[in-house]
Amino acid sequence: MPVAEQLTDRDAVHAEGPVWFPQWGGLRWVDMLAGDVLHLDESTGRVDRWHIGTVAAALRPRAGGGAIIATERDFVVVDMIGGAVRSVSTVITAPGVRFNDGACDPAGNFYCGTMAYDETPGAGALFRICAADYGVEMVLGDLTISNGLAWTGDGAMAYFVDTPTGRIDVFDYDSTSGLTGRRPFVIIDAAEGFPDGLTVDVEGGVWVALWNGHAVRHYDSSGTLVEVIEVPPGQVTACTFGGSDLTDLFITTSATGAGKDSPGAGAVFHHKASVPGIAVRPFNG
């Protein structure tokens, strides 16, 4: 079993949502509950912080520059990384609920899910903000921990995780109907960990981080387990492809709860993948 290599120091308490985008200098991710966006300078190994607010849940580049970010309750945009933050929609009004993980669809709209801080079953949802007019719509309800979301390269399918179900689900997708036909893709035994963030490669394979699982699992497009990458910290939160040929798999980890004393918990790890990933889809708003 290959073992991922530690790439950064333990710079975060709860590292999540890695995104590699060359126009903003490579890899960025969040220290979610600190409200910070982190950036790795690959030439020096230095990690810089940019404070957004109480929570920095997920981010994606904007096609015209800058980024869209889900904070605790809002969708916010910036025109340049490190620039002034402005809210374009306050989405969450229920107490004790926050944004969690998200991604952009092939049309350039940004989706982000929610969860209750106390993980109340059914309190979460998945929202979409439209790139054209910033209108917000709830796409899925009755979720608990809305987590990993990623589309295939051809945009015809999307994979999604509601963590406590122990499943990776798959949807059909088109720009008119959105996400339809939800069905199980892979079921993971709770003894092996819980599915968290995920990403998709050029062959339609799914790479999923396992919370409490010390691993990233790679499934092919049929749902067959291809390989397991060991990650020393137990709380593995998310993964993304990057680098010049999109074969660098960057893996985030958490130093919260039972995993706080794991070796390297809170660091970013790296694995050289056997197949390239898909370039991040930007927000077109």
| DSSP secondary structure letter of residue 281 | P
Q: How confident is the model at residue 262 (pLDDT cuts 50, 70, 90)?
A: confident
Q: How far apart are CA 234 and CA 262, in angstroms?
A: 7
Q: What is the pLDDT of residue 127?
A: 98
Q: How confident is the model at residue 260 (pLDDT cuts 50, 70, 90)?
A: confident
Q: How far apart are CA 83 and CA 77, in angstroms?
A: 9
**Burial label, 136 (beta-carbon count in 10 A; 0-12, 13-18, 19+):** middle
Select 5-272's CATH number: 2.120.10.30, 2.70.98.10, 3.40.50.10470, 3.10.690.10.
2.120.10.30
Average pLDDT over residues 89-109: 97
Matching residue, tokens 């995993």: 259
Q: How far apart are CA 250 and CA 238, in angstroms?
A: 8
Residue 100's Cα: distance from chain center in Å? 8
- The string of pLDDT tens digits covering residues 205-250 is 999 999 999 999 999 999 999 999 999 999 999 999 999 999 999 9
Q: How far apart are CA 126 and CA 91, in angstroms?
A: 11
Q: How far apart are CA 280 and CA 186, in angstroms?
A: 23
Burial 28-64 (b: 16+ CB within 10 A, else e): bbbbbbbbbbbbbeeeeeebeebebbebbbbbbbbee
Res 10 pLDDT > 80 = yes
**Residues marked as catalytic:** 196
Q: Enumerate the domain spans of the chain.
A: 5-272
Residue type, 153: G
- The string of pLDDT tens digits covering residues 165-194 is 999 999 999 999 999 999 999 999 999 999
Res 259 pLDDT > 80 = no
**CB-based contact 125:170 (threshold 8 Å):** no
**CB-based contact 143:190 (threshold 8 Å):** no
**Burial label, 96 (beta-carbon count in 10 A; 0-12, 13-18, 19+):** exposed
